[in-house]
């Protein structure tokens, strides 16, 4: 069994800890996982995990990313313990730290998904309750959850370092400068971040998007450079707003892809984000209200009140 698959097995269910138990420490998780593996698999799984090479790490994080692209927000809750176990392993090696930066920026999604799970799933009787399909929360409910989630969170050191200069970049591109906080949701302002699908830098630009908006990927990938990456991100956001005429829809397209969003708008005959929100991927459903909450908490700004970029 692949190392990541074993971790999904160990931490994705209730083998070592209840998903809602925030008192479980990493050493306790490691010890419990090791004991379970020895008792049930006949091998020491955790001895093999540090030997994961970049290819297996990419596969492991790709499996996680596929979960983020699922249909239901609440399903992400099952990833929480897995991610908490994998993250220190990714952070422990220089070559996997870019993947760690990507995953770290998504840990809040798993926490919020768990809160949603706890709030909407009724107590079940018996030891093996049947699986349930849980509907996605309404967009306004998610906005409220995200505002609560980050209401008292201080600025990170990286945000303090990058926000002032990158706001100037956004202003130069005629985009509301507080939208620079997109980088907080994408990467926590970590310029090293690399997703399993190839999105890179603090603004998580895909290769084709980066080239489309003026970046070079060779001989040095400009997506990992804060100012060029911010310039391309601002240009892309401006393009998306000009196309969709709504910042929420523009952010959804930034995260999910403009083609995906356009198909949903056409299918449901709408131009409104809330009308398509529950049909977006789980990550995008939480990405948009997360950015909104960050703007409100950091800048006191409401997304729907952002002005249109001048032409």
Least confident of 56-65, 125-134, 268-277: 125-134
Q: Give the model confidence (pLDDT) of 91-136 as tens digits.
A: 988 888 999 999 999 999 999 999 998 887 655 555 555 556 678 9
pLDDT at 123: 54
The residue ranges of every structural domain in the chain are 3-116, 139-305
Which residues lie below 8 Å from residue 229, measured CB to CB, with a gap of 6+? 191, 201, 202, 203, 205, 210, 215, 222, 223
Q: Which of 48, 28, 52, 32 is nearest to 40 (CA)?
A: 32
- Categorize the per-residue pLDDT at 84 as very low, low, confident or very high, splitting at 50, 70 and 90: confident
* Residue predicted with more confidence, 38 or 285: 285
Q: Which CATH number fits domain 139-305: 1.10.3860.10, 3.30.70.100, 1.10.530.10, 1.20.1050.10?
A: 1.10.530.10
Q: Which of 2, 1, 4 is nearest to 196 (CA)?
A: 4
Does 51 score more than 60 pLDDT?
A: no
Joined together, the tokens standing for residue 153 give 């969170």
Range 257-261 average pLDDT: 97
Q: Rounded to a whole number, what is the largest CA-CA distance in the chain?
A: 65
pLDDT at 56: 65
pTM, whole model, 2 decimals? 0.82
Does 178 score more than 80 pLDDT?
A: yes
Q: Which string of DSSP letters, residue by residue, matches 77-105?
A: GGGHHHHHHHHHHHHTSGGGHHHHHHHHT
């Amino acid at each position: 069994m692949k190392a990541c698959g074993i971790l999904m097995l160990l931490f994705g269910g209730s083998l070592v800890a209840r998903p809602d138990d925030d008192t479980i420490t990493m050493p306790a998780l490691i010890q419990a996982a090791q004991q379970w593996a020895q008792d049930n698999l006949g091998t020491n799984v955790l001895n093999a995990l540090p030997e994961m090479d970049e290819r297996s790490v990419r596969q492991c994080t790709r499996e996680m990313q596929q979960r983020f692209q699922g249909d239901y927000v609440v399903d992400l809750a099952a990833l929480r313990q897995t991610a908490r176990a994998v993250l220190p392993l990714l952070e422990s090696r220089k070559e996997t730290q870019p993947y760690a930066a990507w995953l770290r920026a998504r840990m809040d999604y798993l926490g919020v998904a768990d809160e949603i799970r706890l709030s909407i799933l009724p107590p079940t009787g018996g030891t093996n309750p049947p699986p349930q399909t849980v509907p996605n929360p309404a967009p306004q409910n998610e906005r409220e959850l995200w505002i609560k989630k980050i209401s008292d969170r201080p600025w990170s050191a990286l945000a303090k370092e990058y926000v002032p200069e990158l706001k100037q970049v956004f202003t130069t591109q005629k985009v509301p400068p507080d939208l620079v906080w997109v980088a907080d949701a994408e990467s926590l302002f970590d310029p090293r971040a690399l997703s399993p699908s190839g999105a890179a830098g603090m603004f998580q630009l895909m290769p084709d998007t980066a080239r489309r908006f003026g970046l070079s990927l060779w001989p040095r990938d400009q997506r990992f450079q804060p100012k060029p990456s911010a310039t391309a991100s601002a240009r892309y956001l401006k393009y998306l707003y000009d196309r969709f005429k709504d910042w929420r829809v523009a952010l959804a397209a930034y995260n999910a892809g403009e083609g995906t969003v356009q198909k949903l708008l056409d299918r449901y005959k709408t131009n409104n984000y809330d009308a398509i929100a529950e049909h977006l991927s789980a990550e995008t459903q939480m990405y948009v209200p997360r950015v909104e909450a960050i703007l409100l908490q950091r800048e006191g700004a409401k997304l729907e009140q952002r002005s249109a970029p001048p032409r």
